[in-house]
Structure 1
Amino acid sequence: MRLLQLSPQFPFPLTDGGKISIANMTRALVEQGNEVDVFCLTKQIPESELIIQYQAYTGADIHCIQHDTGNSLRSIMLSLFDGTNPLYVRKHRSKLFEEAILLHLRQNQIDGVLCDHSAMAEYGVQVSRSFDIPVIMRMHNIEHVIWQRYAERFHALDPRRLYIGSQASKLKQKEMEYASSMSYCAMITSHDVGILQSMRSNINAIHIPVGVDTKTFYPMGQDKPNQNRLIHATTYDWIHNVEAVDWFIQKVLPSINESYGAELHLLGKHMPERYQDNSTAGLIGHGFVEDMNEMLNTACMYIAPLFVGAGIRIKILEAMAAGLPVIASSISAEGIQASREDGLIICDEADQFIAEISALIMNTEEAKRLGGNARSFILENHSWEKSAQQMIALFKTDV
């Protein structure tokens, strides 16, 4: 099959969960013998060397359309007075992108269109109106749920709650319209399948899990050199990630550092300077690292606090693939169908995090056992090859 894949960002290098999920699905589809043309929005056209690296990694051609999807003051103000189009939808609209997609479809024999995120769904709806081909929306999360959860963190009369809540309501309506117009909605968690189907009965929602590259993330066969070392990786340009890390540093780290000399090692791009200035006992900020697996293999466990979000945390899956037990908040672990015995421990309060971290620091054999179980869980449940096969089956079903 020849497929057209639409992405709201240039999905390379693989520095965050969204890019990892988009690029690896592309790669898996190509490895299954399909041809994939990728169209993406990007604030700046990537350098040719980066495009070459992406093409070598995925085996796909990519067409980059320059468009800034940032939240400008103008776009925020316009969204205040637009009764139907929320900020999230407005900022991903590009006439140039739309024209490029339609031209490509007219000039080539395309068998199906894959829209990554609801941000690309509007283009998918336009395609379905003009071409008799299946269109699948791959929802990495249900975006309006994130906005709803964020709004609920503010006081009832806080203007931010009123604005964000209004945006969530408009986005919910849009996502329901998009989902109803698609041949299928491919959800990366079964949890999100249930949410979507509970809203409208005419939505064809299917669970297609994300995979993990288990040849890149794996236990390196060495004893963990520091049983007091915790690790966390994220991108720090999303406010909810930073808020969660700040919470952990303030509420959890002081206790475990004082009791056990525990260290929290932070990885990821766009890291705030305060995480790297050595001003907090037990906090070590590394920033972006080339070999994530090597760093994971220096730790005894992975921690994942998050209190606003939806979808699935791919970084958790990668840590489990590397043989680490994970201690995560319920929202951070949402969508991962693993149990405590599978190496995924759920905590939502600071004292729970402290107790569970302390228990694993004190019992190294249990930490290793749970880490081994975590690896086994990933091997059994998160294969890119299987996910790509499921996706192709959906396209063929609708052809």
Structure 2
Amino acid sequence: MSVPILYIASRPFIPAAGGRENMIFQSLQFLENQHKVSVVIFKGKNELVDLQRYYARFPKFRFHLLDLPTAPNWILEWIITARPLPLQVAMYLSRSGKRLIRSIIDDQKCKLVIADMLRTSMLFQTKDCISVVELDDLLSVRYLHNIRASVGNRLLGTYEDRMPAFAAKIANRFSRTVLRYERWAISRMERNSATRHNAVVLVSHAEAALFKQMTGADNVYAVPPTTKIRKAPDRLLPSPTDRINLMFFGNMHTTANRQSLRYVLESVLPALTHLGVDYRFHAIGRCPPELIARYQRPDVFFTGFLDNPDDLFDSMHIHIAPMFGGTGIKTKILESLARGIPTITTADGVIGMSVESGRELFICADANEIALRCVDLARDANLYRLLSKASARFASEQFNFDINRNRYLDILRTCLAAPVAKTAPVLGGAQ
């Protein structure tokens, strides 16, 4: 049965520059031709969004752009709530945003609201409609790793450009203190989300099971990232006289990806050079200028964001993607597997995936082992072909689009069959 649905996106998602954007896009693909969908998209005040591209891809949807509130606005709203909210949630609070969302719910008679992450989940009255919140992962777990690892000082990641310069500077200057507060505050919200909403949807089955154990809730589900990508028909290594094309793929504005990229550049590539491997390394995705200035050299290329990276991916031979900490399923790993690009990662890179090292990909403990596996793939064409075929087969079978679309729609049907919505009020008082 088709019903009016409101989806609240925490950021623009076309083109998809990272894992969260891909998950927003995926959810809307699932809803396409199934329900009457309105979408609110939050953006930075001066951020340009080409709505024509959105309507070209989803012509039956209604799109509404909403600027993130100014600092005085959301700080005032935060004070009014008199609650210890995470900074990332507070920065979405505004009366104008709540009014717009309420008007869409009323005008379209929305039966269900889907909130993209906790930061958009406090902008509507859950007593007025059934609600679902989508989470990439448990941020409290991710932040704990970042605190212990002392990784980087750019706390805000992709949101730095959307915040006032003074606020971003303060957050980065006192990043460890802010991160400790964020972890404490977001942990409280995570634990309450299953009570506040009719369903909590994570991307990893393992993490959904952990969250159920933590909360005792039974309305927690998992819908992993999916892929329609098909393996290039003939992925072969270059001849022994050619250089090997190595890659790392992701949005390097995030803490986890910056940490991974630095590890490749500072530890893995020197180990490869020591072993006599002739390579070109490509960092594919958005990257802070200071990293490019520091690491770019004749055998290291920074491509920036590519709207259509297919041709470049088809020319890559090995994906080196060491991951440290973090939770949820890594979209970058899934995409390279689906394309049949032999992939080398670490144990944290395959969380939530039923894979075996040497069968679908290689799982390594350190930079020297990563370098040795690169040598194995470069010198053994049969191993290369077997890994390429096995990885593409695994991705197409385990992360099938149709299967996971049905799983997602079943979750919504279960919620819509609920007799009542949740009763927790919106933050910020009367509207």
TM-score past 0.5 threshold: yes
CA distance in 2, matches of 1:222, 1:200: 46
Equivalence map 1:80-159=2 (5 Å): 84-123=84-123, 126-131=124-129, 134-154=130-150
The yes-or-no answer on 1:169 pairing with 2:171 is no
Is the alpha carbon distance of 1:121 and 1:289 closer, same or farther for their aligned partners in structure 2, counting shifts above 3 Å? same
The answer (yes or no) to whether the contact 1:27–1:57 under 8 Å persists in 2 is no
Structure 2 residue runs of 5 or longer lacking an equivalent are 152-172, 418-431
Match of 1:184 among 176, 199, 206: 199
Given residue 389 of structure 1, which amino acid in structure 2 is its aligned partner? N
Is the alpha carbon distance of 1:283 and 1:98 closer, same or farther for their aligned partners in structure 2, counting shifts above 3 Å? same
The alignment's TM-score, normalised by the length of structure 1, stands at 0.87
Is the alpha carbon distance of 1:254 and 1:172 closer, same or farther for their aligned partners in structure 2, counting shifts above 3 Å? same
Is the alpha carbon distance of 1:35 and 1:159 closer, same or farther for their aligned partners in structure 2, counting shifts above 3 Å? closer
Following TM superposition, by how much is the alpha carbon of 1:336 offset from its aligned partner in structure 2, in angstroms?
2.7
The yes-or-no answer on 1:230 pairing with 2:246 is yes
CA distance in 2, matches of 1:111, 1:45: 32
Q: In the alignment, which residue of structure 2 is the partner of 1:296?
A: 313
CA distance in 2, matches of 1:279, 1:231: 14
Q: In the alignment, which residue of structure 1 is the partner of 2:412?
A: 395
Given residue 8 of structure 1, which amino acid in structure 2 is its aligned partner? S
Q: In the alignment, which residue of structure 1 is the partner of 2:231?
A: 218
Following TM superposition, by how much is the alpha carbon of 1:251 offset from its aligned partner in structure 2, in angstroms?
0.8
User: For the aligned residues, what is the CA RMSD?
Assistant: 2.8
Of the structure 1 ranges 290-299 and 193-202, higher mean CA displacement relative to structure 2 is found in 290-299
Query: Which secondary structure does the structure 2 equivalent of 1:167 belong to?
Result: helix
The yes-or-no answer on 1:37 pairing with 2:50 is no
The answer (yes or no) to whether the contact 1:278–1:284 under 8 Å persists in 2 is no
Of the structure 1 ranges 218-227 and 230-239, higher mean CA displacement relative to structure 2 is found in 218-227
CA distance in 1, matches of 2:69, 2:256: 21
CA distance in 2, matches of 1:255, 1:394: 47
Q: Number of residues paired by the alignment?
A: 383
CA distance in 2, matches of 1:353, 1:191: 26
Of the structure 1 ranges 344-353 and 363-372, higher mean CA displacement relative to structure 2 is found in 344-353
Following TM superposition, by how much is the alpha carbon of 1:34 offset from its aligned partner in structure 2, in angstroms?
2.2
CA distance in 2, matches of 1:328, 1:68: 39
Following TM superposition, by how much is the alpha carbon of 1:246 offset from its aligned partner in structure 2, in angstroms?
1.1
Is the alpha carbon distance of 1:278 and 1:67 closer, same or farther for their aligned partners in structure 2, counting shifts above 3 Å? closer
Given residue 103 of structure 1, which amino acid in structure 2 is its aligned partner? S
Query: Which secondary structure does the structure 2 equivalent of 1:237 belong to?
Result: coil
Given residue 197 of structure 1, which amino acid in structure 2 is its aligned partner? K
Sequence identity (%): 16
Match of 2:211 among 189, 196, 199: 196
Q: In the alignment, which residue of structure 1 is the partner of 2:22?
A: 20
Given residue 168 of structure 1, which amino acid in structure 2 is its aligned partner? R
CA distance in 2, matches of 1:153, 1:222: 37
Following TM superposition, by how much is the alpha carbon of 1:271 offset from its aligned partner in structure 2, in angstroms?
4.6
Is the alpha carbon distance of 1:87 and 1:396 closer, same or farther for their aligned partners in structure 2, counting shifts above 3 Å? same
Is the alpha carbon distance of 1:160 and 1:184 closer, same or farther for their aligned partners in structure 2, counting shifts above 3 Å? same
Q: In the alignment, which residue of structure 2 is the partner of 1:320?
A: 337
CA distance in 1, matches of 2:23, 2:209: 21
Following TM superposition, by how much is the alpha carbon of 1:30 offset from its aligned partner in structure 2, in angstroms?
0.4
Is the alpha carbon distance of 1:219 and 1:183 closer, same or farther for their aligned partners in structure 2, counting shifts above 3 Å? same
Given residue 85 of structure 1, which amino acid in structure 2 is its aligned partner? L
CA distance in 1, matches of 2:174, 2:109: 49
Q: In the alignment, which residue of structure 2 is the partner of 1:373?
A: 390
The yes-or-no answer on 1:305 pairing with 2:322 is yes
Is the alpha carbon distance of 1:290 and 1:106 closer, same or farther for their aligned partners in structure 2, counting shifts above 3 Å? closer
Structure 1 residue runs of 5 or longer lacking an equivalent are none
CA distance in 1, matches of 2:345, 2:145: 18
Of the structure 1 ranges 319-328 and 275-284, higher mean CA displacement relative to structure 2 is found in 275-284
Query: Which secondary structure does the structure 1 equivalent of 2:126 belong to?
Result: helix
The yes-or-no answer on 1:62 pairing with 2:77 is no
Given residue 329 of structure 1, which amino acid in structure 2 is its aligned partner? T
CA distance in 2, matches of 1:51, 1:185: 29
Query: Which secondary structure does the structure 1 equivalent of 2:390 belong to?
Result: helix
